[in-house]
Structure 1
Amino acid sequence: MASEASTADMAMAEATPDQPVRREDRIVSLDLIRGVAVLGILWANITAFGHPQAAYAWPEMLPGGGNAADDAMWLFQYIFIDGKLRGLFTLLFGAGVYLFMERAWARGSSRWLQARRLLWLGAIGLTHFFFIWYGDILFLYAMSGLLSLMFLKRSIKTQFWLGISLYLLGGALFTLMLGGQALMEANPQIEGAEGVMAFWEEMRAGVPAKVAVYSTGSLTDIWGYALAEYPKLLLNHPFLVITETLPLMLIGMALFRWGFFEGALDRAKTIRWSWIGIAVSAALSLPLGLWVMDQGFPQILTQFAFAGPSHFIRLPMILGFAGLLTAYAPGIVATGIGQRLVAAGRAAFTNYLGTSVVMMFVFHGWALGLFGKLHRLEMLVVVFAAWAVMLLWSKPWLERYRYGPLEWLWRCLTYWRLFPLKR
């Protein structure tokens, strides 16, 4: 046992900072899941890339209102995509924070190295947020990651149950807050309803200005709009940190330490419980989504379904996706598409930010000018084209270079050293 531990410590120590982790030492399921997640996040985000933020959850904000295909796509995404891929990515980020620290500890470094790494991530995230796309998650991850450093050396059970508790608390807060507002939407005579409706009306009133600047403005016009309007969106971040991002990171840390992503748990049970989690989540989401559709997508009710009870419901599917991808990883990575998904996961940082840059050229008025013009089914064409690009470039790049471009930059900033990029 001692020799095995020392061998593992040596492998971790050799992996960073001068060299990427050797292929035989990588946890392939992490790369695979990260690759699937970074592709899936684009599907989840595509509506917010091409339309005002409200359209992300509310089909009525699409051009001319939603059509039957939009409604069907909304329902499918509501059940299987929205929140699930972001949650999967967040689990992986939490696991990655702990994995980084394992290797740092093996080399004699402290959590301050991780803190510096996360501060650089936050700076990159804010740049992304203001100058590329307001839907950035990197700054949120940096804030949550810094908080997670307080819990690195807590027991696995503490990390897991603290994560679960905070996540459930978040679901309760979202459900109560939005549920009360949805009740006022349906019964405007309730005391306080007038103020709530005025808030949502004010939000809708600002949509034409955003559509105008994004569909016809120059890049500097868009930057000016973002710098003026988006700082207030950051006020939501502390709430999101505590209610979703930090909890999922802590759960991801605990799962990693349990050996979940390395297949240490019983494979048959992992597969069985993963399918049960996915099925239960889908079975609970379907009637809720159909109810909202039947009501004609009232704005607050739609937001309630999207972020309230679904907060609870999506967790079994997030864990189910993670379980199935981990269990089936050896077979998947043996295929050509599996190898490309792994490569996309190894370059997930570059793929995530690179996708945002590409979407600027697709949707902004100074480029192709498709902002506010495509319906959900049409936007899937953009998604599939971007997937093809991610899968095509990542593998040949990593065969020639040690890291993805932004992965390399982040590593150099973290250690404040210039590392070789070419193999």
Structure 2
Amino acid sequence: MRIHDVDAVRGFALLGIFAVNVTFMASGYPGNLVHDPTFDSSLDDAVRTLSSVFVDMKFYVLFSFLFGYSFTLQMDAARRAGAEFRPRMLRRIAGLFALGVLHIVVLYGGDILTTYAVACLALLLLRNVTDRTALRIAVGLYVVVLLSLISSGLFVDGSTFLPGESEALANGADATRALLGDWGPNIGEHLAGLPLLLLQSATLQGPTALGMFLLGMVAGRRRWLAPETNSHPVLRRIQLVGFPVGIAGGVLYALGGNGAPLCVAASVATAPLLAAAYVATLLRARPVVRRVLAPAGRMALTNYLAQSAVGLIVFTGIGFGFAGRFSPLALMVFALAVFTAQLAVSALWLRRFRYGPVEWGLRWLTNGTRPAFVAAGEMSVPERQSDRR
């Protein structure tokens, strides 16, 4: 059965994902680990710092956790349908990977779908392990990532393989000019970033995603996000621990300029706690808040790709060519405006249709049968929210 609060948390995560991604869509400087010198005021620095503390690296782990949680719902759906789970999930993984490749080439080079697809192959192999084993593997993956970051921070001189500031600034200016070009320069820029994307996926995003997948799988088995298992005292304790520890890690991350390995390690270690505190806060919020967010979460894949399409149209020369013209504050306002529009469009769409367009296609591929697309007119909103996956 559909869990309304899972959709709400996923919708909330979409906002954080876009708030991070849009900085890379709008300028070539962040991808080169430097700030655009055009925006160097105290306000610009304050916005960047707040993003580093409260947003960067937090919503990625939350999205990964929800992927693992939804994995258990997919298993339940296959069981109810009397279908074998493994071939269904392999088809779904193939579909995610294909979408990710198209996403990288056409829309945005910072894709996560391909990484998720590969990590999900490992999750598929581990689907029958006990909860204790899953948690041990998740912790082990995080320990390996943290040790590698700490080791590189202590024993590796980054200046030997990273460009100096002047070179990085020049590269950022070149990348911004490429964004202002047509399809050729933009696709070229996407493909040029593949080596870094692969390196990040192999050393950081892939292992941490799998770790959060496993934690989400355990949470899904135990229905931690189901209404009947949400305990306000437990949620309060999560907030009391998650906020101070997570914010402290975010501050260290910001102080390191977002690139120092030791500071990245601090963020990697504490981001799950801050993400958990965000979830606890959302689950304790008024039900109307979750109802507003849930439609966007039900169409998360469609909305994720739509965010990249909006970024392509607004910032590149293919569309309006606004790359390099938005300050950090303007980007945050822009991200919030786009997400607000997605909330409204998602709610309107789901009054008429059972799934988002991309979700419908992926469901067709996963199950091997064409699902109904138009929602039955006699179904109430609560009934639609509890549809089986």
TM-score class, shorter-chain normalisation, is 0.7 to 0.9
Query: How many residues align structurally?
Result: 374
Equivalent residue, structure 2, for 1:207: 172
Equivalent residue, structure 1, for 2:352: 400
TM-aligned CA deviation for residue 44 of structure 1: 2.0
Q: 1:303 to 1:128 in 2, by over 3 A?
A: farther
TM-aligned CA deviation for residue 65 of structure 1: 5.0
CA distance in 2, matches of 1:224, 1:57: 16
Q: 1:227 to 1:313 in 2, by over 3 A?
A: closer
Which of these residues, 231, 235, 243, is aligned with residue 267 of structure 1? Answer: 231
Equivalent residue, structure 1, for 2:2: 26
TM-aligned CA deviation for residue 235 of structure 1: 4.0
TM-aligned CA deviation for residue 209 of structure 1: 2.6
CA distance in 2, matches of 1:288, 1:251: 25
TM-aligned CA deviation for residue 388 of structure 1: 1.8
Deviant stretches of 4+, over 6 Å: 199-202
CA distance in 1, matches of 2:360, 2:254: 45
TM-aligned CA deviation for residue 164 of structure 1: 2.0
TM-aligned CA deviation for residue 169 of structure 1: 2.1
Equivalent residue, structure 1, for 2:44: 70
Aligned letter for 1:363? F
Secondary structure, counterpart of 1:88 in structure 2: helix
The two structures have a TM-score, normalised by structure 2, of: 0.88
Equivalent residue, structure 2, for 1:20: none
RMSD: 2.5
User: Residue by residue, what CA displacement relative to the aligned partner does 1:155-180 show, whole Å, maximum 9, x if unpaired?
Assistant: 11211221122123212212322454
TM-aligned CA deviation for residue 220 of structure 1: 2.8
CA distance in 2, matches of 1:415, 1:268: 37
CA distance in 2, matches of 1:150, 1:231: 27
Q: 1:277 to 1:129 in 2, by over 3 A?
A: farther
CA distance in 2, matches of 1:345, 1:173: 34
CA distance in 2, matches of 1:289, 1:73: 14
Which of these residues, 58, 69, 77, is aligned with residue 103 of structure 1? Answer: 77
CA distance in 2, matches of 1:290, 1:419: 46
Aligned letter for 1:85? F
Equivalent residue, structure 2, for 1:136: 111
Asked if 1:276 is matched to 2:229, the reply is: no
Asked if 1:42 is matched to 2:18, the reply is: yes
TM-aligned CA deviation for residue 381 of structure 1: 2.3
Secondary structure, counterpart of 1:260 in structure 2: coil
User: Residue by residue, what CA displacement relative to the aligned partner does 1:113-152 show, whole Å, maximum 9, x if unpaired?
Assistant: 1011111101101110121001111111111111101111
TM-aligned CA deviation for residue 279 of structure 1: 2.4
CA distance in 1, matches of 2:170, 2:43: 26
User: Residue by residue, what CA displacement relative to the aligned partner does 1:193-227 show, whole Å, maximum 9, x if unpaired?
Assistant: 5x235588766553333221112x11233123433
Q: 1:399 to 1:81 in 2, by over 3 A?
A: same
CA distance in 1, matches of 2:163, 2:131: 46
TM-aligned CA deviation for residue 97 of structure 1: 1.3
Equivalent residue, structure 2, for 1:18: none
Q: 1:400 to 1:304 in 2, by over 3 A?
A: same
Aligned letter for 2:173? P
Whether contact under 8 Å (1:171, 1:243) holds in the other structure is no
Which of these residues, 68, 72, 75, is aligned with residue 94 of structure 1? Answer: 68
CA distance in 1, matches of 2:316, 2:64: 28
Asked if 1:243 is matched to 2:207, the reply is: yes
Whether contact under 8 Å (2:122, 2:210) holds in the other structure is yes
Aligned letter for 1:385? A
CA distance in 2, matches of 1:368, 1:388: 21
Structure 1 segments unaligned to the other structure (5+ residues): 1-24, 186-192
Secondary structure, counterpart of 1:206 in structure 2: helix
Secondary structure, counterpart of 1:308 in structure 2: helix
CA distance in 2, matches of 1:371, 1:38: 22
The two structures have a TM-score, normalised by structure 1, of: 0.81
User: Residue by residue, what CA displacement relative to the aligned partner does 1:299-352 show, whole Å, maximum 9, x if unpaired?
Assistant: xx7443652221112121122223333344xx32xx2x5323111110111111
- The higher radius of gyration belongs to 1
CA distance in 1, matches of 2:30, 2:199: 21
Asked if 1:368 is matched to 2:343, the reply is: no
